[in-house]
Amino acid sequence: MLRKLANLKVAAVCLGLVALTGCTGKKPEVANPNAQAKPGTERDFTLNVGDRIHFIVDQSTLTPQATDTLRKQAAWLRQYPNVTIQVEGHADERGTREYNISLSARRATTARQFLVSQGVNPSRLSTIAYGKERPIALCDAENCWNQNRRAVTVITGGAIPG
Amino acid sequence: MPFGRVVIVFLLMVFGQSFSAQALEIDVTQGRVKPLPIALPNFIGGGGGAAQKYSHDITGIIGNDLQSSGLFQPLPQNSYVEKITNFSRQPRFSDWRIIQAQALVTGRVVMQPNGRIRAEFRLWDIYGQKQITGLQFVATKRNWRRIGHLIADAIYKSLTGEDGYFDTRVVYIAESGPKNKRVKKLTIMDQDGFNVRALTDGRSLVLTPRFSPTSQEITYMSYAGGKPRVYLFNLQTGQREVVGVFPNMSFSPRFGPRGRKVVMSLQQGGNSNIYSLDLQTRGVRQLTNTQAINTAPSYSPDGKNIVFESDREGQQQIYVMSSNGTGARRISFGKGRYSTPVWSPRGDLIAFTKQSRGGFSIGVMRPDGSGERILTSGYHNEGPTWAPNGRVLMFFRESRGARGGPKLYSVDITGYNERKIKTRGFASDPAWSPLLK
C-alpha cells in the first residue's frame, strides 16, 4: 500500500512537470505580460524580456522574431548597466560534433554583435559555444530540434536580487 | 598507470620445413573474405594452478580477437581429434585435416619463479605441414591480457601479411545520465572492451579525444572552468595541461604523425580557422584564413598534407591542403555534406561522415576524392577513427529519441564485419591508439 502511494506521488510530480513545461523541457520563450517579477531581476529578464532566440537549420542569421527579442534584451541591459551576460550558442543534434561547436559559436557571436550594435557595452558580454551538447527538447523530430537551435542570454552578474 | 613492456622472443623453427609452393595466406584485398578455419586448442598450463587459468583465458582472448576481425573462424574445441599435451612436439597434421582446419595454434603458459608469466605459441600450416612462426612472450601478471592480444597480432600478421591491431586501446567519451544533462567522461579501454578506466570525473564536459600516434598521450577538448579549450592528457603520469592559451575557444585537436604537433581549430567570432602548434617550441602557425568554419583537421601519415572540413563554399565539404596551409582544394563532390575527415595511417584512404537524405553515413575515399565508398548508413553514424593498420574503422552510432544515445561500432574498410563494441553505457567519439610498445 505504501509503495503504491509512493508511486502515485511520483506520477503527480511528473504531471506537474508536464503542465509546466509541455513535457519536452521547453522553457518559456516569449514575454508574458501577466508574469509577476521584480524589475531588474533575472526572473524579470527571463519572463518579461525573453532570454532566448531560435535559428533555422544550419543558419546563424537572425529571424525577425529573434531581432525583436534581442532589441528588448538590449533595452533591458541598457536599463540595468551593472548586469553582465554570457550568450550560450547551441545547435541541434542533426550535425557533426566539431561543426556544431563552430556553428553554435557563430550563433552566439551573431547575437552578441547585435546586442553590441544596440548600445550594450561589449565588455559586459561573453559567449560560449555548446554545440549539440546541451539540448533542452528531447525528441527526434523538428519540433524539438527547432527549440535546440538557440542562443540563450544568461545573466552572469549584476542583476537585482530576487 | 604505466604500461609495462612485454618481452618477445622468436622461437626457433625446430621442425623440418617442407616448402610448399603456396604459402598459407589470407587475401585481405578482396571484399568479402571467407574466414580461415583455425584450430586453437587451450594452451598447456605448465606448473598447474595459476598457469592453468591463464592458459585457458589467454587462449580465449586470442580466439575472440581472431574471430572479431572477420578473417578467421576459430573451430569449436570439442571437434578436435588430437589432444595437444606436449608443446615441443609436432602435431599430427592429418588429425587437424579431418576437421578442415587450415591453421593450428599450439601454446604453453608457464609461471616463472619471479612471478612473471611466460607464454609461447607456434602457428602451424596444416596442409603445408610446417610451422609458420613461433614466439615467446614474458609479461607481468597485470599485463596478462596483452599476451593474448600480442599472440593474436602475430597470427594475424603471419597469415594476412599485414600488421595486427589487437594490442591496442581505444579512448572514448563514456556518457551517462539523461540527454539534457549528459555526464561525459574521458575513458580508455582495451580494443576488446576490457580494462575500462575513466580518466576524468565527469564534472567538466569533455569531447573529441585523439590518441598520439607515437606516445601514450591524448589530446581532447574540455569545458573545464567554463573555458572550452584543447588539453593534453599524459596516460603514464595522469598529468593534463592546456595546449596554448588563446583569446577564444580552441577545439577539434589532433596530433601530427610524429606526435610533436597538435593541429586544431581556433574560434574567431563567427569563424573558425585551423592552426598547428609545435608541442616543443609552443610556436603557433595559422593554416587557414577564411571567413568560414574550418575544422576537423587530420594530417596525412607523411605529414605533408592536412585534410579538413570547411563550409567556405556554403556547406560542409572536405578539403586537402599542404601542411603549411597552401593549395587547399576540395575533394568531396558527392551529393550531401561531408565532414570529420580522418587520414588512414596507411595513407591510402580518408574516412569521413556524410550527411545525405536525412541520414548519416560513414565512408571512405581516396585522398584525391575518387573511389568514394559508403561503409554504413542510417539515422546517425559519426566520427570514424582508424585502427593502426588502416583496415578497420571504429565510429559511433546514435539511436533516436529522448532516451537515445551513442554506442561504438567497428567495420572493416570493405564494409563487411560490422560489430558493436561492448561498453557499459553510452559511448561516443572513439579514437584508436597505435600498437602498444
pLDDT of residue A25: 42
Q: Name the residue among B422, B87, B161 with its Cα closest to residue B153.
A: B161
Chain B partners within 8 Å of A25 (Cβ): 180
Work out the pLDDT band at B8, boundaries 50, 70, 90.
Answer: low
- Cβ contact, residue pair A96, B353, below 8 Å: yes
**CATH topology for the B7-160 domain:** Rossmann fold (3.40.50)
What pLDDT, in 10s, does the model give residues B185-226?
999 999 999 999 999 999 999 999 999 999 899 999 999 999
CA distance B264 to B230: 8
Residue pair A82/A158 in contact (Cβ under 8 Å)? The answer is: yes
Closest residue in A to B253 (Cα–Cα): A98
Q: pLDDT digits over B111-156, tens only?
A: 998 889 999 999 999 999 999 999 999 999 999 999 999 999 999 9
- H or E segment at B121? strand B117-125
pLDDT of residue B28: 63
Q: Is B402 on the interface with A (CB under 8 A)?
A: yes
User: What pLDDT sits at residue A116?
Assistant: 98
Q: At what angle do helices A64-79 and A97-117 cross, to 10 degrees?
A: 60
Residues of chain B neighbouring A154 (CB-CB closer than 8 A) = none
Instruction: Spell out which residues of chain B touch residue A96, defining contact as CB-CB under 8 Å.
Output: 296, 316, 339-340, 353, 355, 360, 382-383
Q: Which CATH class is domain A25-157?
A: alpha beta
Split at pLDDT 50, 70, 90, the class of B46 is: confident
Which of A97, A106, A139 lies closest to B270 in CB terms?
A: A106
Domain ranges within chain B, ordered by starting residue: 7-160, 169-432
Does the CB of B292 have a partner CB in chain A at under 8 Å?
Answer: no
Q: Tell me which amino acid residue B165 is.
A: Y
Q: Which residues pair with B356 in a beta bridge?
A: B359
Confidence at residue B309, expressed as pLDDT on a 0 to 100 scale? 98
Contact A110, B273 (CB under 8 A): no
Interatomic CA distance for residues B110 and B117, integer angstroms: 6
Of all residues in chain A, the one with the smallest CA distance to B297 is A98
Please state, in angstroms and rounded to a whole number, the distance separating the CA atoms of residues B308 and B19.
Answer: 49
Three-state SS at B104 = strand
Minimum CA–CA partner of A135 in chain B: B180
Question: Hey, what CATH class is B169-432 in?
Answer: mainly beta
Chain B residues with CB inside 8 Å of A23's CB?
Answer: none
Nearest to B339 among A60, A99, A110 (CB): A99
ipTM: 0.93
Average pLDDT over residues B406-424: 95
pLDDT at B32 over 70: no
Torsion of CA A113, A114, A116, A122, to 10 degrees: -40
Domain ranges of chain A: 25-157
B265 and A97: CB-CB below 8 Å?
A: no
Sheet holding B284-286, edge to edge: B250-255, B261-268, B271-278, B284-286
pLDDT tens for residues B324-373? 999 999 999 999 999 999 999 999 999 999 999 999 999 999 999 999 99
Using CA coordinates, name the residue in chain A closest to B220.
Answer: A98
Please list the residues that pair with B136 across neighbouring strands: B9, B120
Residue from A96, A112, A136, A154 whose CB has the most chain B CBs within 10 Å, to mutate: A96
From the list A98, A103, A138, which residue is nearest B402 (CB)? A138
What local confidence, expressed as pLDDT, does residue B176 receive?
97
CB A106 to CB B402 under 8 A?
A: no
A83: closest CA of chain B, how far (Å): 19
